[in-house]
Amino acid sequence: MAHVLSLLQGGGSHRSKTTVAVVVLVASIALRKLHQQWRATQTNGSAKPTASAAPTNVPANGTKKRRRIGVDAQFIAEIKKLLPVCIPGVRSPEFGLLVALAGILVVRSWLDIWFSSFNGMVVKAIVSRDRARFIAKAVFEFGFMMWPLSIVNNSLKLSINALALRIRSRLTRYAHDQYLNGITFYKMSNLDSRIQNVDQLIAQDVSKFADSLSHLYSDTLKPVVDIFLFAYKLGQAIGGGAPLAMVSYFFVSAVILRNISPPFGKYTAVEQGLEGQFRYNHSRIITHSEEIAFYGGGQRERELVNKSFQRIVDHIRRVYKMRFLNGVFDSVLVKYGATMLAYYLLARPVFGSGYGGDSVTEAMDPTQIMEDYSRNSGFLINLSQAVGRLVLAGRDITRFAGYTARVSELFTVLDDVNTGTYQRPLVEGGEELASILAQHAAQSDDASGAGSEQTDMLLSQGVVNPSALRGEVVHQDGVIDFNHVPVVTPNGDVLVRDLTFRIESGMNCLITGPNGCGKSSLFRILGDLWPLFAGSVVKPRAQELFYVPQKPYLPLGTFRDQIIYPHNHVDSLKLGYTDDNLRNLLKVVHLEYLIAREGGWNSTRDWADVLSGGEKQRVAMARLFYHRPQFAILDECTSAVSVDVEGIMYNHAKQVGITLFTVSHRTSLFKHHDYLLRFDGEGGYHFDRLNHEDGNTPFQFQHGKSAYQGESSQSVTSDSYSDDDKQATAAA
């Protein structure tokens, strides 16, 4: 210590100067290490994706299968499928970012080389006590170069993050387009059993895949470039005092940064909140998929999820920009400012007054040795670090393969479901379903498709594809006609073997039967939610069929949105609906008071919590009157509404020309219907006109028939529906 103090005080001989050189050399190496540590902190600064579990499939046989994830032929095939979605072409911004990132990485490597040589020159200037050269290098050259150094390093981070965000945006939008195409979101969770957690895949795994891909690109490209450059350079070539000042500087810098830095912790919390909201919006689609599917609300839901996703993108973009600026100041202040200070501290003993008289002997030329050693050690450190990073990148590839497998499986299943193929374990290995299809095929002399060996084999594997579907849908206004239709659940359970009935506009029909007999399932087939395996269904277009469930779906949005769903405000204005018109609809269902109670049409609440069960059901009826379809499918939708208000609502529906197709066990509703379709719960049903004259008994048909086991006892066609009947219905 005394020796160092004596050096600082300027005393010393030739030996002392050699010691100074050694001190400078050690400090220089320490400084370089400090620099490398800073750089490592920078590289690791951006969050790396965590390990991902292998995708868990539920194959047709129902057992869980865990695929071994690795860099294999399947991984290559998956990447080939995903890359065109992530980077659609050489003119895309994503490709531009890849090129820019490669350019920045090359510049960064060049700067590393510059720094190694520069460091050697600074060391030489110090050791040879060349004050002018030192000032030119350490103050002017470095003072100039610290800006490109700082900007390049932070540009690297910015472009890695921007690339990840762009890839995520591409994949998420692609997934949304597929998932919310028609009623795919319903089919994914109700017909196909391969993926249980679409929300997590879209909201989390896609993001991790994008992050991982972007990091992997830079984490492999940079070391590769470094290895070539530093190996070449090395081949060409050859083949710390004042800690208190340093600590004080870091302390002061930390205080300054703490005061000028934006609250990144808070931003992270906000980001998590937005991510949570985004995920919640997706989970709502799964929870309410049936209702949304019946409403045809896919488009509206896509708007909502895209909007909430856009909020995340906007937020992250803002934060990245702040991180970039903050990173520049951070680097200048803590990293390069500290480096300058370190140079000063290292140089202080050399330029101290006590060193003025002596010079290092030429024979040893220690200055050149110092310069070469310092520069070459820089090359060597960079080279070994590049190799180390490449080894680490190898480990990251396995993790990346996990994300790739999950995202690729999501897109495969979306593709399948969109083209009418789904997989799930079928009851009795699909045998009963196959026999029904064979029977229908024989009846219709259809030798191909349904009932064929190939279809039977696919069904036995739990695969239902378009070749198994021989049903026909015909669109026609004013009629719902089921002709020899089997009612089959998605897992192949046959609820009704052969259903035939016909109702026309004005023929209000009630459906009854024990729980689980297939009443709602009939609507699922009518609404195209479940596949039509055989027979034919004649019905109006989707917008003329309106479904009102027992638990109404209340979308995110304003009070007005609850009435007009799945329309938005602009749609309703185009249809000529003012708020006054909507108020009149609420009057019909006795809910006018809600407008004032909930703070007006534009107030936004969690409507499922705010409204009572009966209020929710009446809001759903107001929605029905807003849309005024030809047929209303009412599935126990007034179970929580008082009988008098229920009567008013049913009468209003009839007045405005909506034909009712109701599932209910409430006797109070019988008087509003003219026909009864009754399932017996054992595959049989009965359809006939209701006889109200005999006291409105639910099971008293006009034709005097009792419930029938097995098959249709009576199907009322338009022929048997006489003019008298129509007049009676109209009068009602």
Closest CA to 250 of 180, 341, 374, 172: 341
Burial 268-304 (b: 16+ CB within 10 A, else e): eeeeeebbeebbebbebbbebbbbbbbbbbbebbbeb
Q: Given the complex with ligand ATP, which of 459 and 517 has the nearer CB atom?
A: 517
Q: Given the complex with ligand ATP, which of 173 and 666 has the nearer CB atom?
A: 666
Min dist. Cβ of residue 517 to ligand ATP (A)? 4
Closest CA to 120 of 32, 37, 35: 32
Residues 89, 170: Cα–Cα separation, whole Å: 12
Instruction: Pick the stretch among 46-54, 227-235, 383-391, 484-492 that binds ligand ATP (CB under 6 A).
Output: 484-492
Is there binding between residue 490 and ligand ATP (CB under 6 A)? yes
Is there binding between residue 196 and ligand ATP (CB under 6 A)? no
Is there binding between residue 639 and ligand ATP (CB under 6 A)? no
Tokens of 483: 């002709």
Min dist. Cβ of residue 618 to ligand ATP (A)? 21
Closest CA to 370 of 34, 125, 32, 16: 125
Based on DSSP, count helices (H) and strands (E) in the chain, helices before strands: 26, 14
Min dist. Cβ of residue 663 to ligand ATP (A)? 6
Is there binding between residue 164 and ligand ATP (CB under 6 A)? no
Let me know if 388 is exposed, middle or buried by CB neighbors in 10 A (0-12, 13-18, 19+). exposed
Q: Given the complex with ligand ATP, which of 190 and 483 has the nearer CB atom?
A: 190
Is there binding between residue 589 and ligand ATP (CB under 6 A)? no
H-type helices in 352-489, by residue range?
Answer: 366-418, 431-443, 453-460
- Per the CB < 8 A criterion, the answer to whether 500 and 712 are in contact is yes
Q: Given the complex with ligand ATP, which of 462 and 490 has the nearer CB atom?
A: 490
Closest CA to 372 of 595, 601, 121, 613: 121
Q: Given the complex with ligand ATP, which of 522 and 690 has the nearer CB atom?
A: 522
Min dist. Cβ of residue 441 to ligand ATP (A)? 24
Min dist. Cβ of residue 52 to ligand ATP (A)? 29
Min dist. Cβ of residue 518 to ligand ATP (A)? 4
Is there binding between residue 489 and ligand ATP (CB under 6 A)? yes
Q: Which residue has the tokens 């951070």?
A: 330
Is there binding between residue 190 and ligand ATP (CB under 6 A)? yes
Instruction: Pick the stretch among 198-206, 316-324, 378-386, 486-494 that binds ligand ATP (CB under 6 A).
Output: 486-494
Interface with ligand ATP in residues 508-527 (CB under 6 A): 513, 515-521
Min dist. Cβ of residue 297 to ligand ATP (A)? 18
* Residues in the chain, overall count: 732
The total of other beta-carbon atoms located within 10 Å of residue 8's CB is 15
Instruction: Pick the stretch among 19-27, 41-49, 490-498, 698-706 that binds ligand ATP (CB under 6 A).
Output: 490-498
- Per the CB < 8 A criterion, the answer to whether 55 and 197 are in contact is no
Compute how many residues bind ligand ATP; rule: CB under 6 A.
13
Q: Given the complex with ligand ATP, which of 521 and 638 has the nearer CB atom?
A: 521
Min dist. Cβ of residue 190 to ligand ATP (A)? 4
Tokens of 533: 């395996």
Min dist. Cβ of residue 286 to ligand ATP (A)? 12
Min dist. Cβ of residue 303 to ligand ATP (A)? 26
Is there binding between residue 495 and ligand ATP (CB under 6 A)? yes
Closest CA to 491 of 201, 123, 221, 190: 190
Binding mask 520-559 for ligand ATP (x = CB under 6 A): xx--------------------------------------
Amino acid symbol at 412: T
User: Do β-strands 472-475 and 422-423 pair in parallel, antiparallel, or remain unpaired?
Assistant: unpaired
Q: Prior bond to 566 cis, omega within 30?
A: yes
Q: Given the complex with ligand ATP, which of 253 and 520 has the nearer CB atom?
A: 520
Tell me the Ramachandran region of residue 250: left when phi exceeds 0, alpha when psi lies from -120 to 50, beta otherwise. alpha
Min dist. Cβ of residue 611 to ligand ATP (A)? 22
Instruction: Pick the stretch among 70-78, 253-261, 270-278, 483-491 that binds ligand ATP (CB under 6 A).
Output: 483-491
Sign (positive or negative) of CA dihedral 360, 363, 367, 373: negative
Is there binding between residue 664 and ligand ATP (CB under 6 A)? no
> How distant, in Å, are the alpha carbons of 187, 191, 272 from that of 287?
12, 14, 22
Q: Which residues bind ligand ATP (CB under 6 A)?
A: 190, 489-491, 495, 513, 515-521
